Structure 1
Amino acid sequence: MAAVTGALALSALAVPAAQADDHMPNLASLVPSTSKATPFAAAGPTDEGEGDTKITSVTVNGGKNIVVGTTVKKSFTVSVTATDPEGIYDAYPVLWHGSDPDTADGALVPEGLDQEFVGDCTNSSATTATCKVTLTADPAVDLYSNILAGTWKVWVGAIGNDGDYVIRDAYKTAKVQRASKLTVNASPEPVTKGKTITVTGKLSRANWEDHKYHGYTNQPVKLQFRKKGSDTYSTVKTITSNSTGELKTTVKAATDGYFRYSFAGTTTTPAVNATGDFVDVR
């Protein structure tokens, strides 16, 4: 047992510089040199354990996907619930991306790397505790490539008051997505009943490589309408974004109301609705 906090025993997750293009930190350098608790083994995020400590649940970002834009760092909480007959001392998560921990090409770690890597734990009983840790996803540092959008694994460890521990390299998965934007414009305004309304817009998403938004191409997008005085949108038709993410279609004017575009989302990109554009039909 090396004298490191087992909650961040990630030396096996060191990312090759060629893969990370010098943007991804070597996680071995993030392992603290001291621990205030009985340490975990420093062998890295592989399934292992000793004794009767168990992880019973892990919740990432309140169960929601982690959506990151082009400039603003995203902070989110991961809660780990664990149990041990002697009580829980600490539990700790890290998100990593790739097919194998030894060749992972990305990791999301806590804020304040100069601080101790311990969870904020609350006991629900003498044997069970839930520990919360705030992780960060910085598009300027952590998300250096668009290939990182999609499914990430959750490495998690827990340690009991008696030194028993458990480590799981991929306890569950979570999605880290490129933020999306969607616009709409219906014209002319006002319009005569029965005349043609042209509805344009654009679907775009964050590019983590140049930190700009670019059109999301060849995606199905619904045109929806909400009658004035109603709270419910109904789908009029589905169209596909073009090679630059632009949207354009026509409908006949029937009654006052709001038009919007609605995108259902993909694994890498979240769902988004445009703000409705009101059309006065006369």
Structure 2
Amino acid sequence: MAGTMWKAVVAGGAALVFTGVAAMPAGAAEGGVSFSRVSVNGGKPIVIGVKERVEVPAAFRMTTTLRYNYGPMVFPYRGTIERPETLWNAIEGSDCKVVDRAKGVCDFEEWLYIDPRDLDFGNEDAGTWRTAARVFLPGDSQDIDDVNLPVRVQRATRLTVDASPEPVAMGRTITVSGRLTRANWDTHTYQGYAGRSVSLQFKPAGASSYRTVKTTTSGATGSLRTTVKATGPGTWRWTYYGNSTSGASTSGGDHVATRPRSMHSALPRVMHTV
């Protein structure tokens, strides 16, 4: 994206005026405001699909004895702090929760919204962003700071699974297939994600957790296919752990029952001659 992305809609965040403190004069250099305890999405990557607007929770502390008009906020940005390229459609902020009135310390909560259907949003927006904090002051002034917090933005992935035959004789071969797809923000569709290492996992009947049995690489259309031996009844699934631009995902589980191997098939074949 080039330039500043999307128009802002800032709600809430009513300014708390500390009595007896003069406003910053118009045109004054930024300063007199500090931000701390910044959290965006609980420290987790922001994973975005192709249609659903994503709500990203944030929280921060602002310390200032200056009056301010509105908009204490934090948000992902790229470029320079003076002319940031931003990543949000709308921001809603809470009112100040006073921590120390004499020192002008307030805690805020925030909800940042990102819509992948926006025309300016595309695949190039996946990756690591920085975090800015900003407040608008009287007289067309503002204080904007880089708070030294990287935020990872990822394209969502999806996985399917199919294990067969069902049921299967003990010791026989099970074929597990599936497909890995990834959100394409340019076309607003999920497309095959090739060349990715994906883990096949198994949870035996009665167990509480999965274990990784083997890994395989997705094909040209994101296809997955491998074989294993049936050692008992249980559930099979695929897991992809993601990368810097793509989110992690896990398929649903496909349960496969087993039956004893027939005695007839287990016995060696005897040739009779006359």
In which range does the TM-score fall when normalised by the shorter chain? 0.7 to 0.9
Q: Are the counterparts in 2 of residues 180 and 206 from structure 1 also a CA contact under 8 Å?
A: yes
Aligned-residue identity in percent: 35
Larger Rg: 2
Structure 1 partner of 2:56: 76
Structure 1 residue 183: deviation in Å? 1.0
Query: Secondary structure of 2:51's partner?
Result: coil
- CA distance in 2 between partners of 1:135 and 1:182 (Å): 28
- CA distance in 1 between partners of 2:44 and 2:25 (Å): 30
Structure 1 residue 58: deviation in Å? 0.8
Structure 1 residue 239: deviation in Å? 0.6
1:123 counterpart = 2:98? yes
Structure 2 partner of 1:258: 235
- CA distance in 2 between partners of 1:95 and 1:39 (Å): 26
Structure 2 partner of 1:191: 168
TM-score (norm 1): 0.75
- CA distance in 2 between partners of 1:247 and 1:165 (Å): 52
Query: Secondary structure of 2:124's partner?
Result: helix
Query: Secondary structure of 1:147's partner?
Result: helix
Query: Secondary structure of 2:42's partner?
Result: helix
Q: Are the counterparts in 1 of residues 89 and 115 from structure 2 also a CA contact under 8 Å?
A: no
Query: Secondary structure of 1:172's partner?
Result: coil
Q: Given the alignment, which residue of 42, 63, 74 partners 1:93? A: 74
1:154 counterpart = 2:142? no
4+ runs deviating over 4 angstroms: 35-43, 85-90, 101-106, 158-161
Q: Given the alignment, which residue of 256, 266, 272 partners 1:279? A: 256
Q: How does 1:133-282 map to 2 (within 5 A)?
A: 133-141=110-118, 144-158=121-135, 166-169=143-146, 171-282=148-259
Matched residue type, 1:179: A
For residues 213-266 of structure 1, give each alpha carbon's deviation from its aligned partner in whole angstroms, at most 9, with x where no partner exists: 011111111111110000111111111111111100000111000111111111
Structure 2 partner of 1:64: 44
Query: Secondary structure of 2:235's partner?
Result: strand
Structure 2 partner of 1:6: none
- CA distance in 1 between partners of 2:154 and 2:232 (Å): 37
Matched residue type, 1:59: S
Q: Given the alignment, which residue of 31, 34, 39 partners 1:50? A: 31
Structure 1 residue 106: deviation in Å? 4.7
- CA distance in 2 between partners of 1:201 and 1:167 (Å): 47
Structure 1 residue 274: deviation in Å? 1.1
Query: Secondary structure of 1:183's partner?
Result: strand
Structure 2 partner of 1:15: 3
Q: Are the counterparts in 2 of residues 137 and 143 from structure 1 also a CA contact under 8 Å?
A: no
Q: Name structure 1 gaps, 5 residues minimum.
A: 1-12, 17-23, 113-117
Structure 1 residue 276: deviation in Å? 1.3
Structure 1 residue 123: deviation in Å? 1.5
- CA distance in 1 between partners of 2:148 and 2:50 (Å): 29
Larger mean CA deviation between 136-145 and 204-213 belongs to 136-145
Query: Secondary structure of 1:268's partner?
Result: coil
- CA distance in 2 between partners of 1:278 and 1:141 (Å): 40
After superposition, the CA RMSD in angstroms is 3.5
Structure 1 residue 39: deviation in Å? 6.6
Structure 1 residue 120: deviation in Å? 2.9
Q: Name structure 2 gaps, 5 residues minimum.
A: 18-22, 260-274
Matched residue type, 1:15: G
Instruction: Count how many residue pairs are aligned between Structure 1 and Structure 2.
Output: 246
